[in-house]
Amino acid sequence: MCTPDERGMGAAMRNLTLLLLVACKGASKTPTPAPETAAENPVAASVVAAMNPEVGACDDFYEYACGGWLANTELPPDRPNMTRSFTTIFDENQAVIRRILEEASKDAGDDPVKQKLGTFFGTCMDEAAVEAAGTKPLEPLFARIDGVKTRDDALEVAGELMSFGPNPFFSGGTWADPKDPNTNILSVMQEGLGLPDRSYYVDETDERKAVRAKYLEVMKDLFVLTGSTPEQAEKDAAAVMAFETSLAKHHWERAELRDAEKTYNKMTVDELNALAPSVDLKRWFAGVGIEPPAGGVIVVTPSYFEGMDAVVKATPVPVLKTYLRWHAIVWASPFLTKAIDQRRFAFFGTALSGTTEQEPRWKRCVNRTDDAMGEWLGKAYVQERFAGESKEVAEEMVAGIFAAFEKNLPNLAWMDETTRGRAVEKADAFRAKLGYPKTFRDYTEMEVVKGDLLANMRSAGAFNAKHQLDKVGKPVDPDEWHMTPQMVNAYYNPTGNEIVFPAGIMQSPFFDKDFPRAMNFGALGMVIGHELTHGFDDEGRKYAPNGELKEWWEPEASERFEEQAECVVDQYSSWEIAGVNVNGKLTLGENIADLGGLKVAHLAYSDWVAEHGEEPKLAGLTGEQQLFVAFAQGWCTLATEELQRVRVATDPHSPPKFRVNGPVMNLPAFAEAFGCEKGAPMAPADRCEVW
């Protein structure tokens, strides 16, 4: 039997090359895909082309299902990563949106929606106008920062910056109050760093030191490119680095931010200000453009505000101004001259993410227009890409997966009957949103001008921020979506107790109404099960059926859940990618959702087969095997080493290889489907099970 080292599991991802090895013991029971041609069956041919049958499914399922795609796919120089399914759909969606925008920019007619979309996109594409403007668009921001005289002034300007883009010092956002899920409340939390995570400032590894050195260089260069002398730029870069390092030392670890109870600290604005008495935080609210909320705010990271206060108090006002200036430059640089944009990209794109080239300008401008007026674009998108029949098939899958989840609850030995009954109540109370919202947002009041890209980006940021801030203290709209219809993603909202699947993800190869049901259940069905399980992961389980954050489990069940979850923490923490171990605590919720999502998708498919009969083999694979392969092929991923290291430090999701191998090795049904011998890498004697 092969060990992970013998299989080259780490090296395959570190070097982004495929190790084609001779299969080890157990591979003889792995089906060899039939070599069907695209002409005979294009779906089967696509599945087979992505696989590497030289590797046993029981030894390394990710390599078995994805090895062909990994070997024959080259990571483009303008991308730090790409995923077989997500990237395919994203590119197709982006092409649709590009055509919509190009047509609008050329001839919008009398349609005010097309006129605004076309003007925004066309201005973004006008490189000559951007070059001619130089750094002039920055002058209003610099003038406002130059007017800062006191620390309180600095906080007010920070609020102004946050109202359209940057987040110096700390950030704020509007969400449903976890203790009163029908009412919106403002949450404030730690922010203010230019590097991805506190570890980039405090860790003393050679890799982190090298990143810090490059960060200093890009600061110096961008200060010079926006008007500073080289001597002043060097001093300013050192001052910003020292200030951000001091802030970073007070940042909570990302795993701590996942604790819904620890991060729920409701305070009056006066109580918040008492955490930072050296500055008047009410000035920040004035800068943002709202009155201090009478209903209070949620302070996610209270100790950070105490630490921030000490740092700000010890920092001269000129340094605070330099810090604000830097964050304004970082935010604005992608919308300025080519020299400024490329210098920024050389660090944030290449040094941090490993991307050697920028995306073509049209892609960047499509994305910016999408960010600015996403639901207007979404309305046009769904008219072309999302047929009603697709939604009906997906709704049928959702119903089957929910039924399978409830049907499985009695099989969980660690859960008592009382808590099990309440879990059924929560599952019954779930809402599922598919496709697109009932009503699309209106962007008529957003100001867009021809020829000034930075002004339009600032206007879009301010308009969308105001949309969020205006909700503070008001009832939650149960029909609101937090993703646009064209987004290739999905989410679970704990306070709404809802799962949401935009039309963007409900596309081939993730989903197709004409695919075998096994493939749909394995790919999109697993995602549906994943989001459902989020309602019962280590965070989601703390929210009651009505979305309220409160304890609804029996104490014994909570204790046993923690024991089950600790198995998952330990298992994932033992795996390594790009020379760094996975953080099992940071990724716990997503790992639990992955394990539960695959399990419930398989159970739902089994119920479907019981009602409709076995599906024919595809590429030599049984229906069950198709399900598992379709699941795995949704996560076939190439990524740069640099991005992998950033994600291990910041991403609550495990690396794709482990998002595949983790769920299958913990699911006995997988071993049965592929005839894995007990003790094989994908059929260990000791498994983790939560849901």
* Active site (catalytic) residues: 531, 594
Count CA atoms within 13 Å of residue 110 on its CB side.
0
Sign of CA dihedral 68, 71, 72, 75: positive
Burial (CB count within 10 angstroms: exposed 0-12, middle 13-18, buried 19+), residue 107: exposed
Continuous segment of H or E residues that includes residue 181: strand 180-190
Task: Give the integer Cα–Cα distance in Å for 599 and 583.
Answer: 23
Rounded (5°) CA angle 352-363-168 = 45
> Can you spell out the DSSP letters for 656-671?
HHHHHHHHHHT-HHHH
Task: Give the integer Cα–Cα distance in Å for 521 and 517.
Answer: 6
> Helix 84-106 and helix 112-125: axis angle, to 10°?
110
Indicate left, alpha or beta for 8 from its phi (over 0: left) and psi (-120 to 50: alpha): left
Burial (CB count within 10 angstroms: exposed 0-12, middle 13-18, buried 19+), residue 617: middle
CA 462 to the chain's CA centroid: 23
Task: Give the integer Cα–Cα distance in Å for 299 and 281.
Answer: 13
Task: Give the integer Cα–Cα distance in Å for 44 and 49.
Answer: 9
The encoded tokens of residue 171 equal 């950030």
The encoded tokens of residue 638 equal 């190439």
Task: Give the integer Cα–Cα distance in Å for 612 and 609.
Answer: 5
| Contact between residue 505 and residue 433 where contact means Cβ atoms under 8 Å apart | no
